Amino acid sequence: MADKAQRATGNGGETHQTANGATPILTTNHGVAVSDNQNSLKSGVRGPTLLEDFVLREKIFHFDHERIPERIVHARGSGAHGVFEATDDISDLSKAAVFTKGEKTEVFARFSTVAGGAGSVDTPRDVRGFAVKFYTREGNWDLVGNNIPVFFIQDAIKFPDLVHSVKMEADRAYPQAGSAHDTFWDFASLTPETTHMLFWAMSDRTLPRSLRMMEGFGVHTFKLVNAAGEASFVKFHWRPTLGIQSTIWDEALKLQAADNDYHRRDLFEAIDTGAFPQWELAIQVFDQEFAEAQPYDVLDATKLIPEEDVPLRVIGRMTLNRNVDNFFAETEQVAFLPTNIPPGIDFSNDPLLQGRLFSYLDTQKSRLGTTNFHQIPVNAPRCPFGNFQRDGMMQTMVPKGRGNYEPNSLADHGEDGGPRESAEKGFATANAATGPDETGDKLRIRPELFADHYSQARLFLKSQTESEQAHIASSFVFELSKVGLLDQVPLRMLANLRNVDEEFAKRVADGLGLPLPKKAKAAREPVNMAPSDALSIHKKMKDTLEGRAIGILIADGTDADALKSLVAAVIKAKGKAVVVAPKIGGAKLSDGSMRKADGQLAGSPSQIFDAVVVLLSEAGCAALLKEAAAVQWVMDAFGHLKAIGASDAAQPLLDKAGVMPDEGVTGLDAAFITAATRRFYAREPSVRSLA
């Protein structure tokens, strides 16, 4: 009986299962030691990722099933139906029917935040997912990307570590939907390949004004294949016809308070009112000769190809023209798979893309399935095991601490940093051909040019306007100021930033009140690339009122003719005029008529408008001087760098709100319509301190 009991428990009557950290050596769920946790197994230095890589397979498989039931990333999304029309003949490049000139293809698009859960809000600083499903006549094509053309990491094996670090911290379940905390910046500062993407993430690109006003990118390098079987490299770009526009940080915070569903509502209402959002699909096409001549590797997802080097070619237009009938049935259940491609489109050997190709199928197969089958006794290893896989249905172990990603420096602060890979004891694939169809080149390695983590971050920084650079620096200062216990992380991040730009690194250091540390040693020295105006929001903004909303604050006594003339001018310029009053019933105008308000002052803050007008009589202004909401309405519009048009009688309210004269503060003439098409970033130093 004693022998039977011993066999049943696996090891002398004690459970054989051990929690994370019980072994100093990183293992798989089945106890096999891991020799390399940094690189997936490839056929050659730049070859495709191999399906026999069980370390990658298990790690991604477990990660895909960590959350129940919402998506692990991109949980909060908004979707709509539409149509894609091919507008250019590219049959010389691709045989895909979706690209036949004049072909109209039904599509479904989903936009999303990345870090937050399904119940989070629309307006945090975050990358936005941009996924489109084309229902082509040759089968579905899913172009699954983001609103930023590059990514944090170069190899899919690091994706679980990236997301673990940016999600809520493991031992406290906060913060939600934000990267301004210890573990994300710990990971980022230990992973220099994140540097380029960090500059995009800290820029205004992650604070979009509207889902209708952000670009989309396929991120990876793909291939186009023509009828003759000839292949070209390609990158996909979505360009909004309304142009790109962002908010600023303080405005985004107040938008969150005003409307948690700001982007979702904006998209729904635009389609509902017939203002159908549109994007042009453009491509960058190049060959192997061009790829080999560049100072970066085109298969590196942390790099982009400047538009000045390979201009965009517009090949079609997507129009979203129908809202969903049921959110759960459509937006929540839509399943995007990068493996969904029709003939004429193919994959490159981008290692991040290669990992996604089999990751998504696991995710969509069953968002309610368990990944913890290895904890069932018959499946469990009989030796100690430990790794950074977490959670999932029927999790029976209780890992402690926040060490659920790697690399980490938690052990430096007395926390359990978890196990590590072992080149000596870990499983290593035999790098030798065993048959006539094998090359023998199975390597866990990255191409030499992948080691340049800073050149394109420098390119991005140098391509921004002064105000955009100030926003990026201030974003770094804010987020790194939220790093608490891991006090070495901001210094490590500053050491990395010195490889991008000395002045910028000092600017961030001064904002944090920290000394500038010794420059981090770069694996590959960065090079200077010519600045690209295409990387700047400010340089690409369209001077237009189309798609923009103008808030017009009125009160009793407002000049009826002036209001009528102003509304007509806004509409003529293709803008949307929204009348705001202290009461939803509206206000009694100068001619005795009642003008019903489109929004009540208390519930219609100036954050939801692109420019504002204060159209008041002397009596109306006197009344609003006593209304804190009115003063804040004007103060925020000025602080958020928006155009402000005002009647002469409204001047006391502007004075009380601290509005100072500049080119963005106008009267009610045509100058306001011109000013309302843009932001006034030169005003910013007078309203807030930036790094």
- Asked whether the beta carbons of 656 and 620 are under 8 A apart, the reply is no
- What secondary structure, in 3-state letters, does 163-203 show? HHHHCCCCCCCCCCCCCCCHHHHHHHHHCHHHHHHHHHHCC
| pLDDT tens column, 359-392 | 876 766 655 445 664 665 654 555 677 888 788 7
In sequence order, the 6+-apart residues with CB closer than 8 A to the CB of 501 are 458, 461, 462
> In the chain, which stretches have pLDDT less than 70?
1-23, 30-32, 65-71, 361, 363-383, 393, 427-440, 442
Q: Residue 365: what pLDDT?
A: 60
Q: Residue 22: what pLDDT?
A: 61
E strand intervals along 515-664: 549-553, 576-581, 587-588, 594-595, 599-600, 611-614, 644-646
Q: The dihedral of CA 91, 93, 96, 99: what is its sign?
A: negative
Cα distances (angstroms) measured from residue 70 to each of 152, 167, 178, 323, 341: 23, 14, 18, 21, 25
Q: Residue 367: what pLDDT?
A: 55
Q: Residue 28: what pLDDT?
A: 77
Q: Residue 1: what pLDDT?
A: 35
DSSP track, 21-54: TSSSB-B-TTSPBBS-SS---EESTTSPBPTT-H
Q: Residue 53: what pLDDT?
A: 84
Cis bond before residue 343 (omega within 30° of 0): no
Cα distances (angstroms) measured from residue 276 to each of 269, 541, 616: 10, 20, 34
Q: Residue 330: what pLDDT?
A: 81
Residue 345, SS3 per DSSP: strand
Spatial distance between the Cα atoms of 201 and 366, rounded to a whole number of angstroms:
31
Q: Note the pTM of the prediction, 2 decimals.
A: 0.80
Question: What are the tokens at 142?
Answer: 């899913």
74: annotated active-site residue: yes
What are the chain's domains?
A: 77-150+199-352 (2.40.180.10), 546-686 (3.40.50.880)
Size (the chain), residues: 691
The amino acid at 474: S
Residue from 580, 575, 574 nearest 558 by CA:
580
Q: Residue 253: what pLDDT?
A: 94
Which one is catalytic: 20, 39, 62, 74?
A: 74
Rg, Å, the chain Cα set: 28
Angle at 569 (CA atoms; ends 565, 575), nearest 5 degrees: 135
Which one is catalytic: 20, 37, 39, 146?
A: 146
DSSP track, 72-102: SSS-SEEEEEEEEEE-S--TTT---GGGSTT
- Asked whether the beta carbons of 370 and 29 are under 8 A apart, the reply is no
- Asked whether the beta carbons of 219 and 146 are under 8 A apart, the reply is yes
Q: 246 pairs with which residues across the strands?
A: 208
Q: Residue 134: what pLDDT?
A: 93
Strand-strand pairing, 611-614 and 549-553: parallel
Angle at 254 (CA atoms; ends 253, 257), nearest 5 degrees: 100
